Structure formats: C-alpha cells, structure tokens
Chain A
Amino acid sequence: MTVSTRLAFVVTSILVTAAMSSAQVGLVPGSAQLMSPEELLQAIQAAGGEKPLILNVGPSLLYMQAHVPGSEYIGAGSTPQGIESLRRRVKTLPHSTFIVLYCGCCPWEHCPNVRPAFNELRKSGFSNVRVLYIANDFGKDWVDKGYPVVKGQ
C-alpha cells in the first residue's frame, strides 16, 4: 500500500466517522429543520403567509411564565405523557401541516424535549416540521430580545 493510498484511507475513515457522528446528533444548528427565533417572529407577525402550528414541548412551569403567542402547551417531549399528548394533538391533522416545535428549557445541546417530539412527528409522517433553535434558553433568546410573550396556561 502506497503512502498516498494510506492517507486516502485515513481521510475517508475520518470523514465517515464525522458524518456518522453528525447524523447521531441530529437537528444540528444550521440544518433546514431548524428555525431561528427571528424567523418565527416574522412568521407570526406577517400579515399573510402560512401560519405554523406552534407547539411547546417543554416543562409546564416555564410555559406558564412566558410563551410564544399562539403556541399550545403539549407536555415535555422527554416524557411518555408528553409524547402521547403530542400524538393526540396531531392525530387528525394533515401530514403537510406546518408545525413548529419548541422548548427553551436549557442550552440547545442539553434540551431533552425537542428531539423526541421531532422524531415522533417525523415517524408519524409529518413532513413540514421545524424546531425553534434556542441556543441558550427561552429567556435569553426570546424574552430578553423583547419579542412578544403570553403568560399563563
């Protein structure tokens, strides 16, 4: 085996490992399934256009303090009850429904709720699902920016 062949083998291995690693992470920042807070704000404030169904899949105590106007509380996506509630909510909807999921409980890479909820919707056949990318938490990335919120249930 020549030196260049060996090098090519090493590089290929690295690239394959990197690709597998990113596939396991899923919903990585920059992917098309994610939506920035600015983008969601524009969508809910726009006069026309398709309005998304916004579903909160985080903890209820955080939702009660402040949530995106028009969003519905579903339940924590990390719990079986939350996933069951999500199934019930979308059961009668067309699979083309534009759905935005969000949580914002903690930094993006630590959020236990959005990935199970997203996977459940994709598994159920929903093809137009996006997830609000909240890098830090809902307070810092939405409320502190002065974006509109609603309190309560």
Chain B
Amino acid sequence: MRRLVLIIVAIVILVVFWQVSHRGSAPKAAVKTATLNAPAPDFSLQDIDGRPLDLATYRGHVVLLDFWATWCTPCRAEIPHFVEYQSKYGAQGLQVIGISMDDDAKPVQEFYREFKMNYPVALGTAKLADAYGGVLGLPITFLIGRDGQVAAKYIGEADMRAMDDRINSLLQQK
C-alpha cells in the first residue's frame, strides 16, 4: 500500500513538473546597456488623432517611451500602469509616449479608447525602431532623463515597481 502511494505521488510530481516546464513563463525584462547614456534619437510623427508628436517638445521632461502593439499581451498588461504613471507623475514632469508597432491605426484607436489612454500614441516606423536600436520584440520601454539622455531600457514586460522607483529617481534630477 505504501509503495502504491509513493508511486502515485511520484507520478503526480512528474506530471506537474512536465506541465510547468513545458508551458514556460514570461521572462521579466532585462535592462540593456547598449543605448544607455546616449542622446535619445529625435523623432517627429503624428499621433493617432493627427496631432504633431515631436520628442524635442518634451526636452526637460522625463519621458517614458513605450514601443508596444495592441496584439502584444505583455504590452497590454503594462499600459494601465503607464496610464497611472501619467496621472500620478505628469505634474512633476513625466511624459509617457506610446509608439505602436501595429500595422493599422484602427485597432490602436479602439484600444486607446478602451484603455482610456491619457498620453499621446503614434504609429511607429521601421526607421524610428532602427534609431532606437531595433524593436525586434515587444514591449520595449525607454526612460529618457530631463537631459535627453537614455537612462534605461526595458526589454519585455518590466518590473513595474522597479520602473516606478527609477521614474521617481529621474524626476528628482533637475
């Protein structure tokens, strides 16, 4: 009887292990240093409502630049946090900017309304993505300091608590 119980327990452990190992898990963001401390490349785009969106306008602000897409699950998880950051830190000088890598504007406009996004969003281009070191997976988020230098780069779904701390630290810098 004891042997039977042991065999059953072993089988259950093996099944659970197999399930977990074969499903994988969403990796948390790694911070890359390749573009850190370099000037953030300027861009001039139109947002999804047709208004001009120039990075230079926000010099002196801390900018959170988010490359995302409507079909990207980790991006969708991050965006409510970015909406919250914009509300919470906007008065202190944070500006969130979204660059959608969607192929069409329509799903972006629908998403913008659904998620009550409170910051400008424009459709990205391959040229802009190249300028930022390539956007070959989503999401990718940059934090740009008040001096216009890239202060942080997050590849994949970021640790929001760590990002919040970093934003606070950048906002303190004059």
Chain A residues with a Cβ under 8 A of chain B: 3-4, 7-8, 10-11, 14-15, 18, 21-22, 25, 28-30, 59-62, 64-66, 76, 78, 104-110, 112-113, 135-140, 143
Contact = CB atoms under 8 A, between A and B. Distances in A.
Main secondary structure of the interface of A (DSSP, over half): helix
Given A22-B19, A106-B73, A62 B1 contact: no
Contacts of B71: 59, 76, 78, 105, 112-113
B103 A76 contact: yes
Contact of B22 (A28, A105, A139): A28
Given A7-B5, A59-B102, A138 B136 contact: yes
Given A8-B8, A14-B12, A61-B103, 6 more contacts: A61-B101, A64-B126, A105-B72, A105-B137, A107-B27, A139-B137
B90 interface: no
Contacts of B24: 29, 107-109, 135
Contacts of A8: 8
Contact of A139 (B18, B102, B136): B136
A65 B139 CA distance: 15
Contacts of B22: 22, 25, 28-30
Contacts of B168: none
A15 B13 CA distance: 11
Contacts of B103: 59-61, 76
B174 interface: no
Contact of A25 (B23, B130, B155, B156): B23
Interface string B92-104: 0000000001110
Interface residues of B, number: 37
A61 B129 contact: yes
Contacts of B126: 61, 64-65
A10 B7 CA distance: 13
A65 B135 contact: yes
A105 B11 contact: no
B56 interface: no
Contacts of A104: 136-137
Contacts of A28: 22-23
A22 B139 CA distance: 27
Nearest to B22: A28
19 contacts: A4-B4, A10-B8, A15-B15, A21-B19, A22-B19, A22-B22, A29-B22, A29-B24, A62-B101, A65-B135, A105-B69, A106-B72, A107-B74, A109-B24, A109-B26, A112-B73, A137-B138, A139-B136, A143-B134
A112 B102 CA distance: 13
B125 interface: yes
Contacts of A136: 27, 137, 156
B145 interface: no
